[in-house]
Structure 1
């Protein structure tokens, strides 16, 4: 496979797939079962007790975030499914459906993390659950602190798991002390939402600013999580570890282009992700019980990781330099769309386009 063709395939490869199921009736998995009001979460002595190891409670954090920020998201487009926060609960649903919220420890007999468990719990030993913690609890605490959720009138405590509690945090103050960069960026995002939304700027510029702040916060959370959760990743097979790293690294491309991750785009993006945890004997692109789309995605993620190691990350750096203005980022999103959705698009022209975009910055 040629270098440029592989780049074209990995950058939002998942846009084309039709394999993984990440929605139910057009919404994240078990969305309708998750609490919709803060008052529906457990309370002790006036303090809301959030258990992020209960799947529905973690999903509730996303529901509260999306419902509370929707009034400031009109620049994203009409309708209730345009918020760029939708990608987060969709990812959590995919992790549940694919078995990635279970304990990966060898010989584990725990049913925690299985969709069939009652209630549906999340294993603290899961690398994917750990990564998602920093993409759910941290933004929620920042939203409460800034008054976006709860109007600044609530007290909140986040329950720690029985094992590995040191890798997590229990309150805004605790999280800010442990992970100041990520929490600061989430605070900035929520504090800026109303100001940007109410400004006299164009919807085009509002959207770009909001997405820029959101992706800065998401990348900070991912970087923080990558360090905090690293020991858990060692529990997986080498094929699953390679996939996980590829999945994690792909965020750099979509972040730099300020990708608008609404429900429709996010669902397409995640569709070719593997529908089960990979085993040591799995060798993409020749895994018999996975679809052609899943095999291809795994093959490209693995190939791309190797190329990035050889090039020292120069491809990501070139892409980031090219995404230097709102207009360039809009062109970048269009470029991602054409690379994936138009089979006649000349993939060999990608590097030339990126170079031209960089020189015009």
Structure 2
């Protein structure tokens, strides 16, 4: 990346309206004030709870309910009420909402547009991908007894849409690995609460299970791929490199609590990328957003050029609690510090992997 060009972009943005995506309001994820805090507040039909995951407040409510139900098991995460890794998923949804990525990319409906902002489009690749990291963990949490006993849940689905699972049994049949991952995570929370391990080891174990579940969910999103045809190639490239970046976070057992996740989510692009957008030179995005888009692209490009060596080295370096802690710090430098040399990232990984 050419530093003078980045400096010029910083100065240009300072004099214009360049800004990053707002993902919080009054210390909570955007839209939190429209969510429900109790299962009894969700809609029901014939004794079955029927959330509507295609309505933004309902989908965000799934996260609020999961966070509230699991907080008592998150003591090893830290002393703050916002240290659960599930906060990262809530902030990610807030970013998708405010950046317009939940809207209908075909423009054949007004879903997600200013006149129908709370609508989440089943045609959106981003909303499809997010379905697997919102609905699936929620159904698992219900099944594991975190949200009451003998609770039956069936997700609402828009008329004519058939490619989304709606119940625990349905999702388990279609996506057994993803549902097993979330079941293991929620069972692991209870096991950790009874464990005599030191808190740092408990934390590492929980985060390992959390990321294993999330990666299994992302692996299940191949059914969403056809929806990428609705987007410009620049947005598709960003989406794919963003997905690839999750491999690095997962291997480092990254703790996506509220504070840390916000640092990583705010610099994500505040709008869908358009034809001819080329980071780090996108004029109406901030320098931070340009850097994020560029770095995700760089990570995927270098790994592809090296036939997967970069990711293999990274995973081998994340071999212990201590190296994963160093890995999390290294990722913060790479993704959030534009002055951090990418060459340093490569050399540090090699040093770390040789010590395992």
Residues 294 and 343 (structure 1 numbering): CA distance in 2 closer, same or farther, change over 3 Å? Answer: closer
Three-state SS of the structure 1 residue aligned to 2:159 is coil
What does residue 110 of structure 1 align with? Answer: 109
The corresponding residue for 1:91 is: 92
Is it true that 1:322 corresponds to 2:321 in the alignment? Answer: no
SS class of match (2:137): helix
Task: Please state if 1:311 is matched with 2:306.
Answer: yes
CA shift digits 1:65-116 (9 cap, x unpaired): 00000000011111211111001011111111010001111xx252212365
Cα shift at 1:32: 1.5
CA contact (8 A) 2:19 2:285 kept: no
1:155 aligns with 2:156: no
TM-score, with length taken from structure 2: 0.90
Of residues 192, 204, 216, the one that matches 2:200 is 204
Q: Name the structure 1 match of 2:12.
A: none
1:195 counterpart SS class: helix
Aligned to 2:286: 291
Question: In 2, Cα distance between the equivalents of 1:255 and 1:237?
Answer: 28
1:10 aligns to what?
none
The 1-side partners of 2:268 and 2:334 are apart by 18
Q: With a CA cutoff of 8 Å and minimum separation of 6, indicate the structure with the bigger relative contact order.
A: 1
Residues 22-33 of structure 1: matches in 2 within 5 Å?
Answer: 22-33=23-34
1:265-280 correspondence runs (5 A): 265-280=260-275
Name the CA shift for 1:188/1:314 in 2 (closer, same or farther; >3 Å). Answer: same
Q: Is the 1:20–1:271 contact (alpha carbons within 8 Å) kept by the matching residues of 2?
A: yes
Q: Secondary structure at the match of 1:250?
A: helix
Deviations 1:255-278 (A, max 9, x none): 100011111111110111111111
Alignment partner of 1:219: what SS? helix
**Structure 1 pair 97/337, CA: closer, same or farther in 2 (3 Å)?**
closer
Distance across 1 between alignment mates of 2:282 and 2:267: 14
Matched, 1:176 2:172: yes
User: Would you say 1:353 and 2:354 are equivalent positions?
Assistant: no
Q: How does 1:47-86 map to 2 (within 5 A)?
A: 47-86=48-87
Which moves more between the two structures, 46-55 or 307-316? 307-316
Per the TM alignment, residue 341 of structure 1 is displaced from its structure 2 partner at its CA by 6.3
Spell out, residue by residue over 1:153-208, the C-alpha distance to the aligned partner (whole angstroms, 9 max, x if none). Answer: 21111122324412x10111110000000000100110111111221111100100
Aligned partner of residue 70 in structure 2, secondary structure: helix
Out of 293, 297, 300, the position equivalent to 2:295 is 300
Post-superposition offset of 1:282? 2.4
Q: Distance in 1 between matches of 2:91 and 2:287?
A: 22
* Alignment partner, residue 143 of structure 1: 141
| Higher mean C-alpha displacement, 294-303 vs 306-315 | 294-303
Tell me which residue corresponds to 2:9.
none
SS at match of 2:105: coil
Q: Which runs of 5+ in 1 are unaligned?
A: 3-16
- Residue 6 of structure 2 aligns with which residue? none
Match of 1:194 among 190, 195, 204: 190
Q: Could you report, residue by residue, the CA deviation over 1:118-139 in whole angstroms, capped at 9, with x for unpaired residues?
A: 6x11110000000000000000
Shift of 1:357: 2.3
CA contact (8 A) 2:19 2:286 kept: no
